[in-house]
Structure 1
Amino acid sequence: MMLKMMKRATVHDSLRSASLALLLGLCTFGLPVAAVETLCARVVIEIAQEVTFERQAFEARMVINNGLDALAIDDVDIDVAFTDENDEPVLASSDPDNAEAAFFIRVDGMTGIDAIDGTGTIAPATSADIRWLIVPSPGAGGSSPSGKLHYVGATLRYTLNGEEKLVTVSPDYIYVKPMPLLVLDYFLPIDVFADDAFTPQLEPPEPFPLGIRLANIGQGVAYDQRIDSAQPRIVENELGLLIDFRITGSSVDDLAHGDHVVGRVRLLRGRAVPCRRAGWRADLAHRRRAHPHSGARGAGGPAWARRYHGLPRRGRRQPDRL
């Protein structure tokens, strides 16, 4: 009996900006008309985005054979343990929010047994097959390109014919590679120009950028990176302003990029991203403030950070003159 490690498993980690909320102060500030009293309105929009990338993971497998025709193996309890290259214990946890753990581990499937917490039973003349998913946390792989050596073993406890048994399962080894660390910088203009309520004519909306700069400052490569974005959705508009927002396109380093499908835009897919921008348009001039909210979770701990920046103010684009 042994714990066999499958070293080619991968998982896709994700950061979900379930509410990249933009608080828009709509004071229709387009022209400095001092004699006109302004009415400021509050509109909140939400942009659902998801950033995913591939990260290293491992699959552990244990097969327990009950070769007895008349006796069951009862009270099966399996404890998976990790050690480093110096045989020192390494903490692992099934809690994805445990910041102290070097590994996240969970049971990924079982056949021939329904539990391994001390209550499981393997019927006579049958086998149990247990699989675990193991995801290293940031830092577990160190900085060497070859990775950091760890050992994964287990302790098996069970009861056979009323007698308690203890078996130390031979460990297998894994090399944990250095992990990427993604930093996302969001850029939005402070002022956006569209129709100005202080003028009799109807000004067309001017597209403006939502820029995302994605940098990998970690020691490992982030493979199969993707950024998916839904269209903006107004979630608060107490005064009922006739305003709307729409993502009209996307580009990477000023080159058109992105797969447009119903309701969503795939803004990026690849290994490296110098810079990405999505073009917007709005239907009313306004000033904005960003209030990001994140639904980020990931097995093995987060591997990203985010920052937000306001682009300098600019004037309304003037028509070309002869």
Structure 2
Amino acid sequence: NHSSVTMFVLLGLSDKKELQLILFPIFLGIYLVTLIWNLGLILLIRMESYLHTPMYFFLCFLSFIDICYSSSISPRMLSDFLKNEKMISFISCATQYFVAAWMALAECCLLATMAYDRYVAIGSPLQYSAIMVPDLCGKMVAGAYVSGFLSSLSQTISCFQLYYCGPNIIQHFFCDLPQIISLSCSNPFTTQMTLLLVAIVVGFGSLFVILLSYGFIAASVLKISSGKGRAKAFNTCASHLAAVTLYYGTALSVYLSPKSNQSMKRDKVLSMFYVIVIPILNPLIYSLRNKEIKEALKRLIKRPTALCQN
């Protein structure tokens, strides 16, 4: 680090103290529920052998990513609500961005993996068990995590080796790369190219795989003669499609829209949605319309009752 700046200042969601005190319990509640729901979903899937299938295997790791993603930002944001000066050290800022970007990029890859899983389940149901073997599923998850790790590492190193001489005010509630690059006193061309390359390869590459998978899924669904069969096939991927739409929709709205002073406020709201709200929505999206999850939860609740009766 050759930077003369050792601390950054996060402006946060609002500079009004009264509003910050109102927001603190709201976001604390959201964060705690995010942890409980995602941990609960992971434990339920692990405890129920009936749910030991590729789809729920991937869902476990998606919940783990959501926990880590939210935890990389929420605790710091919550503590900042209670501070007058929202200072963050250079190293802490780099660490926060690295972990958040790692989880965000890994989620892109994992959503693409889950789309492929749904394509195999609908397009080749008879060969599904032979194709989606545990060894392949493990390698796909590992690939998602490694891809996210290397991509985030390249972005973080590229950004935080730039020269920062001031100003040091980040107009956000967390260390976001585009905001940090704008504060650099040196030429950010290499960093911007690294950011663009990662966005194209990982972000849009994953989106392309998802769209391609759903293209094949749509073609397979159209071949099903019965309306009931089509509805069942659609329900199989409805939750995943909803999660993808929410995640990519908000992320693309933030990073592809033209920047202005007015858009800064909008970006904060949208960023809050995909960083704070989506991790709490994902377990709901995958559970509310899922009969297998509901049945597994009912069996788990009945076990203590049956033991007490015996």
Give TM class, smaller chain. Answer: under 0.3
Bigger Rg, which one: 1
Which of the pair is proportionally richer in strand? 1
TM-score, normalisation: structure 2: 0.21
